[in-house]
A and B are shown apart, each in its own frame.
Chain A
């Protein structure tokens, strides 16, 4: 299956399980799913048959609340049976609203924001210390960027020349309260990262080919950590969810779910866009 089709399938599943659980971070899961799609299907060296391999690539999801996107992709990759997701957010299920290592394939327990980048920098530094070639990827939300710990880690990652580290910012422009520029403006983000010693690229975070090209070009500069600023749309793929604040953790009604499914099952446009 090509990745454009896979993304639509992932989106349908995200909504299916959020509907079932009556909870979830809908908008952000839909904004980051294309990134996870390309990462897990074409970039990461991870294998459910040897999930603890010492030289595996690591993916650490700093924006842990968009766990539904991660669950759907991990199930698709065979880390656990998709039927497990029927228990999402249920009593005694390990499939809770943020990733934990109780789930095969999850590297770190996240959920509090501003934690993914420091941990990832530590893992990447360990690879450098041991002359191992694995890489570390971490997905940050744009809303979590004001957390100071991100910038502490950004300094250390540059200081230690961690070119095996790649941060991806899911720049969907919204957070729970309002647009990120209104809550706490972090622009110009590229210049901030550049001034912290990172190599920066902008990419359309829903363009599979562009994501593929960006990941394929890592590291963007030798001896520098890389950041991909992925321009995304919160709620992407479902017309009435796109760029709508209320879908941050909005749960669809049955009727809305059917409407969304109809959109996500309609034929792809010839160029492969949604």
Chain B
């Protein structure tokens, strides 16, 4: 990828990742009767109402019962079905955590767990509906790959690729319409490989999910207003971490800043920090996310802005880090 990418304006039609997920799943279901969706009264928020109408034999509704959602999904998957268990990330990864740990990961039943309206997507509905713990708890569980796509392209690719793989996954989607990061469609998506959506030698902004877009906006601001060139990475796969890419940017950039819609504890930032230290990359480093406090109330955007997960806020932290 050349430097000409740097000034490509951010554009493209913005679509919510979970809408792309639902559409992609329909196209998979049309081709493969073994594709099954399991929902816990969550088909509306999961944008799966059309799926249910079109493929009624391929949707299983368990009602509001997340433990049973995951347990039954594990049983279905054990027979060879390609099972997507869809529920708000907050409930899926907390209430059904033991089923994820034992019935999916430990028993190696290849369920694709889909956490919808993740992070603080539900905004003003409050902390009961936020999932700021899911990366942390799932990272500590063996045998589950964690993916948080940033845009529609990554989402569609992730859904198609995981459907073809017989192993446990956790996919995390938000409901905010996301513009495409790479409108020229030149950067491939590969599970476990971060996508470099912008290159620069001063600082690496390593973000995931819906925070990649503001990180990219911040990179443009840094370039145009401060003459600071940032590499921006969509680290869609949280685990396993793309260590090779991490090594590359650690060698190239003066500083590293991570950004995520997750607690600052246990997520992408700490994963990167641990790897960098362990491998003797003693870089200027900072991590952005939701701090360990009673989360401020407001919409997702307001919460993001409050904690600096914005064009302005990320650029500000990047500058502070570079001046260390």
A residues at B contact (CB < 8 Å)? 54, 100-101, 107-112, 114-115, 117-127, 129-130, 148-149, 152-153, 155-156, 159-160
Contact = CB atoms under 8 A, between A and B. Distances in A.
B98 to A, nearest CB: 6
Contacts of A124: 75
Interface of B: 36, 57, 60, 62-63, 65, 67-68, 70-81, 98-99, 102-103, 106-109
Given A115-B102, A156-B62, A101 B108 contact: yes
B71 A115 contact: yes
B63 A122 contact: no
27 contacts: A54-B80, A100-B106, A108-B74, A108-B103, A109-B106, A110-B102, A112-B98, A112-B102, A119-B103, A121-B71, A121-B75, A122-B72, A122-B73, A122-B75, A123-B76, A123-B79, A125-B60, A125-B72, A125-B75, A125-B76, A126-B75, A152-B63, A152-B65, A152-B67, A155-B63, A156-B62, A156-B65
A89 B60 CA distance: 39
A201 to B, nearest CB: 24
A121 B67 contact: no
Contact of B75 (A114, A120, A130, A152): A120
Contacts of A101: 107-108
B108 A115 contact: no
Nearest to A109: B107
Query: Could you say which of B73, B79, B102 has the most chain A C-beta atoms within 10 Å of its C-beta?
Result: B79
Nearest to A122: B75
A155 B69 CA distance: 12
A155 to B, nearest CB: 7
A191 to B, nearest CB: 21
Given A152-B65, A152-B67, A118 B99 contact: yes
B108 A122 contact: no
Contacts of A129: 36, 57, 81
Contacts of A117: 71
A153 B57 contact: no
Contacts of B77: 122
Nearest to B64: A152
B81 A126 contact: yes
